Amino acid sequence: MAEAISYCYWTIPEKTGFLTKGIMLVRAAFRKIAGRIMYAEKLISDVNSSTPARSPAYVQKEKYVTGNELSQLVPSIDFDSLVGMDRQMKAVDALLLNMDSEEDGLGEMGICGGERVGKTTLARCVYQKISPQFQDHYYFEYETAHSSLGIGSTCLLEKIARAGLSEKVAVRPGKVVKLELERFGELVNANLGHRKVLLIVDIHLNATGQLENIRNIARRFGPGSRLIYVTQSNRVLLKCGVKHLYKVETLRYDEALQLFSQVAFKQEHVPREYFRLSIRSVLITGRIPLTLKVFGSFLRGKTVSEWESELCRLEASQDNCVAKVSSYIGNAFS
Least confident window among 127-131, 148-152, 189-193, 284-288: 148-152
Please give the Cα distance from 281 to 257 (Å, whole number): 9
Rg of the chain, C-alpha, whole Å: 29
Is the Cβ–Cβ distance between 200 and 246 less than 8 Å? no
- 46 pLDDT higher than 90: no
Q: Is 226 helix (H, G, I), strand (E, B) or coil?
A: strand
CA–CA distances in Å: residue 142 to residues 149, 173, 174: 12, 23, 24
pLDDT grade for 320, boundaries at 50, 70 and 90: low
Please give the Cα distance from 5 to 33 (Å, whole number): 11
| Structure confidence at residue 40 (pLDDT) | 45
pLDDT grade for 72, boundaries at 50, 70 and 90: very low
pLDDT grade for 171, boundaries at 50, 70 and 90: very low
Residue type at position 213: N
Spatial CA neighbour of 159 closest among 174, 139, 143: 139
Q: Is 42 helix (H, G, I), strand (E, B) or coil?
A: helix
Please give the Cα distance from 167 to 161 (Å, whole number): 10
Higher pLDDT, 43 or 304: 304
Mean of per-residue pLDDT scores for the chain: 74
- What's 237-279 look like in SS3? HHHCCCCEEEECCCCCHHHHHHHHHHHHCCCCCCCHHHHHHHH
Q: Which helix (H) or strand (E) holds 109?
A: strand 107-112
List of residues 6+ apart from 328 with CB closer than 8 A? 313, 314
- 41 pLDDT higher than 90: no
Is the Cβ–Cβ distance between 101 and 93 less than 8 Å? no
Higher pLDDT, 98 or 170: 98
pTM of the model: 0.67
Q: Which helix (H) or strand (E) holds 198?
A: strand 197-202
Residue 130 buriedness (CB in 10 A; 0-12 / 13-18 / 19+): middle
Residue 58 buriedness (CB in 10 A; 0-12 / 13-18 / 19+): exposed
Residue type at position 284: I
Sheet holding 197-202, edge to edge: 136-141, 197-202, 226-230, 107-112, 244-247
Determine phi and psi for 110, rounding to 5 degrees.
Answer: -120, 135
- Tens digits of per-residue pLDDT, 223-256? 999 999 999 999 999 999 999 999 998 899 999 9
- Tens digits of per-residue pLDDT, 207-227? 888 899 899 889 999 999 999
136-141 and 197-202 strand pairing: parallel
Residue type at position 256: A
